[in-house]
Structure 1
Amino acid sequence: MTGAWPAGEWAGEQRGAETATFAGYPRGASGGYVPEGDGFVVTGSGDLAPATRGDLAVAATPGDLLFGTFPALIVVVVIATLMMTTEYRYRLIRGTFSAHPGRGWVLLAKAAVVGGVTFVITLIAAVAAMPLWLRLVRGLGVYMFPATPADLVRAEVGTAAVLAVTAVLALAVGAILRRSATAVTVVVVVTVLPHLLARFPFLPASAARWVTEVTPAAGLAVQQTLIRYPQVDTVYTPANGYFPLSPGAGFAVLCAYTVVALALAAVLLRRRDV
């Protein structure tokens, strides 16, 4: 020990989350120190690596607090689909196209409305919910994995963007299929169901990674705040909150599906007789 040290008695204490199992600390183990000569002999055991989701039985991430995304997705899908299919059901689509013969522009206008309104409303909800849930969960003593302010903003804005783009996807599928029940079922199956199957241990790890890479459910990677540590060997699966794609790449997959669906819907609107 060198340098200027403050005068006073040396003291020591066991560090961690004050639980015997935190980050792999053996149950029943204890540490300590005793003076010896000009120094100390320190004893103890534990894991100096960063804690991962598999290390802690009770813990949460900021992304977990946005669990309302799933019911919100279903509501958004239903509303966005009905914006198109209701006009076919009640034969109002003829009046719409008579007022504006440009069918592609009608589709884009509807997409802008449903996407914009969804984004604003869900962004307000996410920004209001995140700090409230963070304070509540921490007050209950649940360990919260750390996240930077930038990560929190990305999760909030990204959630609103995913819901908005999914609404546009549902609108496009509604224009393609023209039947409410069928269109809602298709969009829910390709967006909500894969993520639920991957987040809960219903699928093998390889299948869970696959469905969160190639389906529109990949967009929910925007909520990921956990870090993959190359020096830590653990189970990095969607069920543990680790998505195979980065937030940007996952959102790009969702956007690609939406663009393709919009393009197909525009072509069919021009070719089919209403």
Structure 2
Amino acid sequence: MLAARTVLIGSATFVTGLPAAGIVVETTPPATCVPVVVGVAAALALCAVFAYGLGVRLRRGWAAVLIGLTLVAVPYAVTAVPLLPDEIADWLLRLTPAAGFAVKQTVVEHPQVTAHYAPSAGYFPLPGWAGFAVLCAYTALVLWPASSGSRGSARTPLRKPLPGSSG
């Protein structure tokens, strides 16, 4: 049941995120635009599955929303504006699920080019595939115990049988 719900949530978010990402992505060549749009829609879908997994694991919707926003939206927001030193912003976008949004990066760092390669300038410290892998790892980390817990709870009785009864 958990797998079916995660597929449904992820698919619905991907399908709605695809046109939304297509609208907001800057005008770039199609070879660059298509992977970015698909990557952003996939990252949004994975964030939705991550939040659902938190809700299943914690059994509290408000706590799942709060933790999900704290781990995904807050790091992304505070690194998008220059509120933090670049080193701290880099580490936030390496170690939190917000790293998944590195799929929208089209800037490549070149050692011979002098530029400000920082999250506040739109640069992610990880390549797109690595950031997406971080988000996948967080999602798997949340879903794995939730799925194993749901199987285990089906096998254990909800109440103890009475002494002398047969079931």
Q: TM-score, normalised by structure 1?
A: 0.54
Counterpart residue number, 2:29: 148
Letter in 2 for 1:165: L
Q: Distance in 2 between matches of 1:268 and 1:203?
A: 39
- Residue 130 of structure 1: how far off its partner (Å): 4.2
- Residue 206 of structure 1: how far off its partner (Å): 0.5
- 1:152-171 map, 5 Å: 152-171=33-52
Q: Distance in 1 between matches of 2:114 and 2:31?
A: 27
Contact 1:173/1:261, CA 8 A, preserved across alignment? yes
Letter in 2 for 1:216: P
Q: Distance in 2 between matches of 1:126 and 1:263?
A: 29
Specify which of 181, 185, 192 is matched with residue 73 of structure 2. 192
**Segments of 4+ in structure 1 off by > 6 A?**
none
Q: Distance in 1 between matches of 2:104 and 2:43?
A: 10
Q: Which one has a larger percent strand, Structure 1 or Structure 2?
A: 1
- Residue 271 of structure 1: how far off its partner (Å): 3.7
- Residue 195 of structure 1: how far off its partner (Å): 0.8
- 1:1-274 map, 5 Å: 106-127=1-22, 129-130=23-24, 134=27, 147-272=28-153
- Residue 267 of structure 1: how far off its partner (Å): 2.1
Q: Which one has a larger percent helix, Structure 1 or Structure 2?
A: 2
* Structure 1 gap ranges (5+): 1-105, 135-146
Larger Rg: 1
* Structure 2 gap ranges (5+): 159-167
For residues 82-117 of structure 1, the C-alpha deviation after alignment (integer angstroms, 9 at most, x for no partner) is xxxxxxxxxxxxxxxxxxxxxxxx100100100011
- Residue 164 of structure 1: how far off its partner (Å): 0.5
> What do you get for the CA RMSD once the two structures are aligned?
1.7
Aligned residues: 155
Counterpart residue number, 1:30: none
225-234 or 184-193: bigger deviation: 225-234
